[in-house]
Structure 1
């Protein structure tokens, strides 16, 4: 007779943070269950670095923090993601290993995570009261889709080039300059 399969139980946030601190592999926590993260492509990484370089000076000037790829964002009591980039302008929370109130989140799309970024993460991010914009950059098509807070909801805007407003930093992102990192 076969052994019964072990039933996995959801992790608490505290258990997840303890396990993540010891793990050589990063995991996101989705509704209590850890999900291993894949590595990024060169194009993906170059875009993230270009974004950090473009946003960091203004964020620092405004007293905001910029986190890229390796810092956690808690979006629900049982869900934690590692956004490609987030900007947080409020005071830090009590937990030094995660943020909870970003004003801006950016994800660079990749074939392995695009569906999660467009649907699962988008729904979670847009529920954050502090969020003013959620941006998706495509490293292959050189474009950007942005969800911008308007009143109690968000509006979708697409950009193929030009300047993209970043509301919480009171600046614009020059798409041509960002994508020049891929040349």
Structure 2
């Protein structure tokens, strides 16, 4: 006889939000089920920080706010509530000011890891593009210089960048691929960029 997996208890949105506010661990929420988040690698952290450092000055004198790692995105899809923690999220709507989540992001960034890449490419992409406010979705590799930019204006078909610069229309800027990977030790060649 094959053992059955224990059914996870249903968690209300209110209980989930209260637990995340007071909890030591982060969890994503998919229609009543919570999923623990795993820790990030050094490369992952450096890439997020590099992107945040490049994006933050572009937001001066705008209503935009940039969050790294700890701001949830709330989605309502076909009557189901989801909360995801993107690596970076940019929101520019002055009415989108909940304390612990955003509902109208303009840009979402996920740094890929072996454990999350499939989920980031499929479920999260399909969920995020339902947000009318979202203009761009970035998937950033952490083991090689490769950035994929999905754009609403291109029907969510990706453009891939491995060198040079990549445009971000949502902040009206171009960012150097090398700047995203500055100081990051890449496994493929054993050196930091």
Deviation at 1:85, TM superposition (A): 0.3
Pick aligned residue for 1:128 from 126, 131, 140: 131
**Structure 2: distance between partners of 1:113 and 1:7:** 23
Once the two structures are superposed, residues 77-133 of structure 1 have per-residue CA deviations (whole angstroms, 9 ceiling, x without a partner) of: 520011000111111435311111111001000111111111111111111100110
Pick aligned residue for 2:157 from 151, 155, 172: 155
Decide whether aligned partners of structure 1 residues 100 and 133 sit closer, same or farther in structure 2, where only a CA change above 3 A counts.
Answer: same
Deviation at 1:7, TM superposition (A): 5.2
Matches within 5 A, 1:28-177: 28-76=28-76, 78-93=81-96, 95-150=98-153, 153-177=155-179
Once the two structures are superposed, residues 31-82 of structure 1 have per-residue CA deviations (whole angstroms, 9 ceiling, x without a partner) of: 2211000000000000000011000010233331000001111122520011
Q: Mind listing any 5+ residue stretches in structure 2 that lack a counterpart?
A: 185-191
Mean Cα deviation higher: 62-71 or 41-50: 62-71
Query: RMSD of aligned C-alpha atoms?
Result: 1.9
Q: When the two structures are superposed, what TM-score results if normalisation uses the length of structure 1?
A: 0.90
SS state of the match for residue 126, structure 2? helix
**Structure 1: distance between partners of 2:49 and 2:125:** 22
**Structure 2: distance between partners of 1:8 and 1:158:** 38
Q: When the two structures are superposed, what TM-score results if normalisation uses the length of structure 2?
A: 0.86
**Structure 2: distance between partners of 1:43 and 1:6:** 35
Q: Mind listing any 5+ residue stretches in structure 1 that lack a counterpart?
A: none
**Structure 2: distance between partners of 1:85 and 1:109:** 12
**Structure 2: distance between partners of 1:14 and 1:172:** 40
CA contact (8 A) 1:50 1:181 kept: no
CA contact (8 A) 1:59 1:87 kept: no
Name the structure 1 match of 2:11.
Answer: 11
Mean Cα deviation higher: 136-145 or 5-14: 5-14
**Structure 1: distance between partners of 2:71 and 2:97:** 15
Count of residues paired in the alignment: 179
